[in-house]
């Protein structure tokens, strides 16, 4: 999954720095201190990754300010795809699927019909939608997540080099199915990832620690008679892969915690 949020204080610190730069640039007339799109993107990203309940609202305010400055003639603060992806992430983290879908639709329309090619959605855009689905309570989230993954694959096959399904894309889809208790579906997707990686030799398809942790956790929580045995078998596979040099699949603390939880809730010695 995507990295966990930072705390609210981090976003507040970025806000303070941004305000200081604004004041200095205004008072001193120092063009070198004038904020640009990177400055504002940093602030939006800080809000998106914070624990604040009003993170999305604050990020929206920053975007509104950027748009206002750009429309007033400041070309250096024109919102770009990173801007919108960061804002979408703030909504994804609270499972607001509708808002993320709305923003992606707007990006697609602006890039295809409005001629703004720099706003064509990319891998991060669609991964953010899948993350929103994974964190939502919507019953059809797993199916919609898979549909988004298929769309990404289709766009890639049609020549869109900026849309490239990767291990994060698959892991987020796995998380959707795992939340719904669909352990056999989770296993099928992991098997598909392994097959794709073997066929294409592309690292972006190679299952990693998070992939196998999701599968282990799904088996542990499945209530299946073979759940513990299957979880153990995956741990063995992870160790074997690590010994073969694939450290991206190395067991971590979450792996062993899930296995320990499996033992605790079973009669297995």
Please, are residues 228 and 217 in contact by the beta-carbon 8 Å criterion?
Answer: no
pLDDT of res. 217: 96
User: What number of other Cβ atoms are within 10 A of residue 79's Cβ?
Assistant: 22
- Flag residues of the chain having pLDDT under 70: 1-9, 267-269
pTM over 0.75: yes
Structure tokens, 35: 């904020």
**117 vs 234: CA distance, rounded Å:** 43
pLDDT of res. 223: 87
pLDDT of res. 97: 97
pLDDT of res. 7: 53
**121 vs 148: CA distance, rounded Å:** 12
pLDDT of res. 2: 33
pLDDT of res. 267: 64
**137 vs 128: CA distance, rounded Å:** 16
pLDDT of res. 4: 38
**216 vs 237: CA distance, rounded Å:** 11
Cα–chain center distance at 112: 24
Per-residue pLDDT tens digits for 215-257: 999 999 998 889 999 999 999 999 999 999 999 999 999 999 9
Largest CA distance in the chain: 73
């Amino acid at each position: 999954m995507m990295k966990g949020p930072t705390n609210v204080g981090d976003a507040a610190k970025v806000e303070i720095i941004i305000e200081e730069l604004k004041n200095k640039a205004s008072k001193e007339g120092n063009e070198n201190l004038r904020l640009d799109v990177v400055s504002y993107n940093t602030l939006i990203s800080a809000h998106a990754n914070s624990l604040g309940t009003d993170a999305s609202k604050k990020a929206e305010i920053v975007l509104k300010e950027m748009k206002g400055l750009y429309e007033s003639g400041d070309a250096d603060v024109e919102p770009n795809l990173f801007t919108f992806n960061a804002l979408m992430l703030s909504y994804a983290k609270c499972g607001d699927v509708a808002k993320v879908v709305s923003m992606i639709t707007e990006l697609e329309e602006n890039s295809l019909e409005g001629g703004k090619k720099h706003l064509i959605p990319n891998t991060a855009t669609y991964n953010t939608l899948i993350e929103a689905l994974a964190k939502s309570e919507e019953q059809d989230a797993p199916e919609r997540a898979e549909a988004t993954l298929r769309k990404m694959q289709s766009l890639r096959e049609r020549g869109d080099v900026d849309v490239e399904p990767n291990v994060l894309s698959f892991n987020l889809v796995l998380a959707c199915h795992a939340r719904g208790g669909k352990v056999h579906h989770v296993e099928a997707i992991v098997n598909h990832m392994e097959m794709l990686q073997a066929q294409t030799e592309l690292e972006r398809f190679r299952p990693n620690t998070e992939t196998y942790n999701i599968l282990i956790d799904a088996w542990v929580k499945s209530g299946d008679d073979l759940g513990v045995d299957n979880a153990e078998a995956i741990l063995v596979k992870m160790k074997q892969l690590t010994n073969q040099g694939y450290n991206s699949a190395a067991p971590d603390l979450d792996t062993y915690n899930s296995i320990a939880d499996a033992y605790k809730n079973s009669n297995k010695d």
